[in-house]
Amino acid sequence: MNANAVVIEPPESATASVIWLHGLGANGHDFEPIVPQLPKNLTRHTRFIFPHAPQRPITINGGMVMPGWYDVFPTDFIGQPNAQELNIQQDAQGIQASDQIVRNYMAQEIERGISTERMVLAGFSQGGAIALHTGLRYPLPLAGIMALSTYLPLADTVENEIHAANRQTSIFMAHGEFDPLILLPYAQRSHAHLEKLGYNVQWHSYDMEHSVNPEEIADISQWLSARLP
């Protein structure tokens, strides 16, 4: 479909899609190995799309160019236990550019006959932030939003920009209790903010750092299977 993504086609005709975004410095191959670990009743009819983020200089990494959905600043929350605010200096322009990338993939899936109600937006770390950003603002109902080891970006604009179409959409949030990059309290504040806005958030935390573990994959499997029967 696109040289800018890893696409795993199901053995049967696709009736659903999962668009899954990787974290900073990784690429679309990062979560490819998870697909064989998911239930066969899910993977036999679901197309998995793992886009590669564009290359960009990342300020917090000394301006090094790497795959990233948006820039990260030294004043950001990362690794700061005392960061109390949801609204810290963020790369709004980069986030909005990646939002458009995701919408383009969704439009391609619609053209291929997949209803948005059979689409899940998923992501890890930066990718999860984009999944939340796009999913909450998307004007058509989605099957679900999966946000792993991440947080709610541009939280100060969410309330004014959310779309009613996804007010009832299930959100799966999961986080490592010992995550040294995006600390658990920051993710918990994002979760609380979403619940305050009235969203249905299924929250999980695990005995791990900034990663994914088998227990989480089991919970992801259950949630995805329920969203895309």
CATH of the domain at 40: 3.40.50.1820
Please compute the mean of the pLDDT values over residues 75-91 and round it to a whole number: 56
Inter-residue contact 54 to 10 (CB < 8 Å): no
Residue 155 has pLDDT above 50, yes or no: yes
pLDDT band at 88 (very low <50, low <70, confident <90, very high): low
Q: Say how many C-beta atoms besides its own lie within 10 A of residue 180's C-beta.
A: 10
- Separation between Cα atoms, residue 81 and residue 179, nearest integer Å: 11
pLDDT band at 86 (very low <50, low <70, confident <90, very high): very low
As for how many domains the chain has, the answer is 1
For residue 79, the enclosing domain spans 5-227
What is the reported pLDDT for 87? 46
Please compute the mean of the pLDDT values over residues 99-110 and round it to a whole number: 98
Cβ-proximal residues to 79 (8 Å cutoff; 6+ apart), any chain: 180, 181, 183
Residue 51 has pLDDT above 90, yes or no: yes
- Separation between Cα atoms, residue 162 and residue 30, nearest integer Å: 29
Q: Buried b vs exposed e over 3-40: b needs ≥16 C-beta within 10 Å?
A: eebbeeebeeebbbbbbbbbbbebbbebbbebbeebee
7: left (phi over 0), alpha (psi -120 to 50) or beta: beta
pTM for the complete prediction?
A: 0.94
Q: Say how many C-beta atoms besides its own lie within 10 A of residue 208's C-beta.
A: 18
pLDDT band at 77 (very low <50, low <70, confident <90, very high): low
Give the amino acid at 218. Answer: A
Name the nearest CA neighbour of 99 among 121, 82, 79, 116.
Answer: 121
Please compute the mean of the pLDDT values over residues 170-191 and round it to a whole number: 94
pLDDT band at 43 (very low <50, low <70, confident <90, very high): very high
What is the reported pLDDT for 93? 95
Residue 78 has pLDDT above 90, yes or no: no
The proportion of the chain whose per-residue pLDDT surpasses 70, expressed as a percent, equals: 93
Active site residues: 125, 179, 210
What SS3 state is found at 131? helix
β-pairing, 64-67 with 55-58?
A: antiparallel
Inter-residue contact 195 to 210 (CB < 8 Å): no
Please compute the mean of the pLDDT values over residues 175-183 and round it to a whole number: 94
- Separation between Cα atoms, residue 125 and residue 162, nearest integer Å: 21
Average pLDDT along the chain: 92
Cβ-proximal residues to 133 (8 Å cutoff; 6+ apart), any chain: 95, 99, 153, 154
What is the reported pLDDT for 156? 85
- C-alpha count within 13 angstroms, C-beta hemisphere, residue 212: 23
Please compute the mean of the pLDDT values over residues 19-41 and round it to a whole number: 97
What is the reported pLDDT for 75? 61
Give the amino acid at 13. Answer: S
